[in-house]
Amino acid sequence: MKDLKKYIANSKLTRLEVLYEKLVKSENGITIKELAQELNVSAKTIKRDMQGVFEPMGLIKNGRKWRIDTSKDTQEQNDEEIILEVLDTMAKSAGNSFYAKAHPLLSKLSQNISNPIHTNLDAEKLEEKDLSNFQILEQAINTKTQIVFKYENKLFQAKPLKLAFFSGFWYLLAFDMKKRDIFKKFYLKNIQNITLTQEHFQTDESLEAKLQRVNSIWFNLDKPFMVRLLVEEPIRKYFERKPLNSQIITGKDKDGSIEIELEITHEMEILPLVYYYIPYVKVLEPDFIANKVKEVVGEYLDQISK
């Protein structure tokens, strides 16, 4: 036994293997002192081994005793595999060209992507030319390079800001330089013949913050205004599960309904949502949007009543 201890002490790899086995098999844990005595090394060496090697493997301390929880490793691995499976399934919704590029990359991370997960990503199909344009635009945005392109038979020079995904469609958000830097949205599939120029541009933090708060393709860079909605109990869960950008729950009523506030820059950022959830959503403020809903719904009821 003495010779075994000497061999273990002189072989770090073997010591780590034995140490790992003991930490895994010890259901109630084992102290550093006990491990040091058994492996014939100092307590400092054991502590260094555990902190440097075994912490990412689920090392747990309970009082003075230590053990490794292998279920933590397994759960993290399972979580990663599920995420990859979801991404792979979503990639199929983006079209064959996109999936042909995405699947091999995801497969490198997960050796066998064959899963029972189904996602219905409401997205248009991206073709090879769209992916090529996507890559060029991404480069221009990252390097803040001005671009020239053809769009609906017109030539544009623009400062590209973001590639944005709204309601299943991709858009380029940019400043139209021929219109004194007017903010515009360009439908990705209609963009052609993109050329990167030698000119660069700068943006400020306030612009970046505005772009992060957008809710839909209808937004603009004007000063936002507040909208208050009453969301009734039957659909409340959808607003709690997936809050809108800038959404704040300001009140909860006894009947299960909630009041929410959010900031928008254009009425069409919120009107389609209200129409979709009628009669379970009501506009409390501002009055001009509440009146717009009444007007549109009234006209619709008149039409179907004839």
Residues 284-297 pLDDT 10s: 999 999 999 999 99
H helices within the chain, ranges in order?
2-9, 12-25, 32-39, 43-49, 70-93, 96-109, 128-143, 205-212, 233-241, 271-277, 287-305
Q: Backbone dihedral region of 173: left (phi > 0), alpha (psi from -120 to 50 degrees) or beta?
A: beta
- Give the C-alpha separation, 127 to 192, whole Å: 13
- The two tokens of residue 51 are 């902190």
Mean pLDDT value of segment 163-185: 89
Average pLDDT score over the chain: 81
Sketch out the chain's domains with CATH numbers.
2-68 (1.10.10.10), 128-212 (2.30.30), 225-305 (3.30.70)
- Give the C-alpha separation, 52 to 16, whole Å: 11
Q: What angle do CA 102, 103, 109 make, to 5 degrees?
A: 100
Residue 82: partners with Cβ closer than 8 Å, 6 or more residues away: 117
- Tell which wins on pLDDT, 92 or 138: 138
pLDDT digits (tens, 9 = 90+) for 59-91: 788 888 888 876 655 455 455 554 555 566 556
Q: Is the dihedral of CA 163, 168, 169, 175 positive or negative?
A: negative
Phi, psi of 9 (to 5 degrees): -65, -30
- Tell which wins on pLDDT, 66 or 175: 175
Residue 7: partners with Cβ closer than 8 Å, 6 or more residues away: 14
Are 38 and 45 a contacting pair, CB within 8 Å? Answer: no
pLDDT digits (tens, 9 = 90+) for 1-60: 344 444 344 456 667 778 888 888 887 888 988 888 888 888 888 888 776 667 666 778
Lay out the sheet containing 154-166: strands in order across. 182-187, 169-176, 154-166, 145-151, 191-200
Are 200 and 143 a contacting pair, CB within 8 Å? Answer: yes
Q: Comparing 31-35, 54-58, 108-112, 197-201, which segment has the lowest mean pLDDT?
A: 108-112
Cis peptide bond N-terminal to 279, omega within 30: yes
